[in-house]
Amino acid sequence: MSDHDKDFDFEPVPGLPAELPQGETIVWQGRPDAMRLAREAFKINWILAYMLAIVVWRAGGAYATGGASLMLATAIPYLVLTVLGYGVVFALAFAQAKGSVYTITTARVIIKAGAALPVTYTIPFIRIATARLETRPGGTGTIAMELTDGARISYLTLWPHLRPGHARVTQPAFRCIPDAGAVARLLADQAQAKLNEPRVTKVAPATAAVAAE
């Protein structure tokens, strides 16, 4: 389990909307890395580059007409706005990362998304067709889950916890998590174990059939 339990004292189970059924346990919990989420989902580096380009453009124009003093007088306010803009975007990414919890249990994947208005998505392993891992230097990565036919989740309510570039058919994702490779292996092992677990289904009085879930 995660070491962030103290942050979720108002929840019946940390990161979950309700107690798990008897026999089901949590095997992993985690959150997105805030800086990586800011870079990949909120495009903070692109925003910074754009704002700095405006600073250079405005300062260059001021220098051409009024020299160094006018250049500084023009550039400083724009630099302040750039810093403030960068801070706002990072604060949004940090709040999203802090308010989100990813959970793997012995039966399902659970994504608690959102800061101000959290929403929880529960995805049984049987609803996951495939899972794809994309890693970055340092081990951080994203695990995207392609759902079986008929399973759909709203793009707007799920963002940014989804695979980029798949707006029409959304793929829920553990986005920008540390040690993504190990988490992907754990997810694969748990899903395989659950799908191979025999289940007894009653088909007639005093008769039972065993089926793989």
Band (pLDDT 50/70/90 cuts) for residue 13 is confident
pLDDT of residue 3: 43
Band (pLDDT 50/70/90 cuts) for residue 203 is very low
Handedness of CA 148, 192, 21, 33 (dihedral sign): negative
Which residues, including other chains, have CB under 8 Å from residue 153's CB and lie 6 or more apart?
121, 147, 162, 170, 172
As a residue count, the chain comes to 213
Q: In this model, does residue 206 exceed pLDDT 70?
A: no
Q: Rounded to an integer, what distance in angstroms lies between the CA atom of residue 133 and that of residue 110?
A: 17
Band (pLDDT 50/70/90 cuts) for residue 11 is low
Q: Which residue has the higher pLDDT, 210 or 96?
A: 96
pLDDT of residue 213: 36
pLDDT in tens, 163-189: 988 878 889 999 999 999 999 999 999
Band (pLDDT 50/70/90 cuts) for residue 205 is very low
Band (pLDDT 50/70/90 cuts) for residue 63 is confident
Lowest-pLDDT choice from 33-37, 48-52, 112-116, 196-200: 196-200
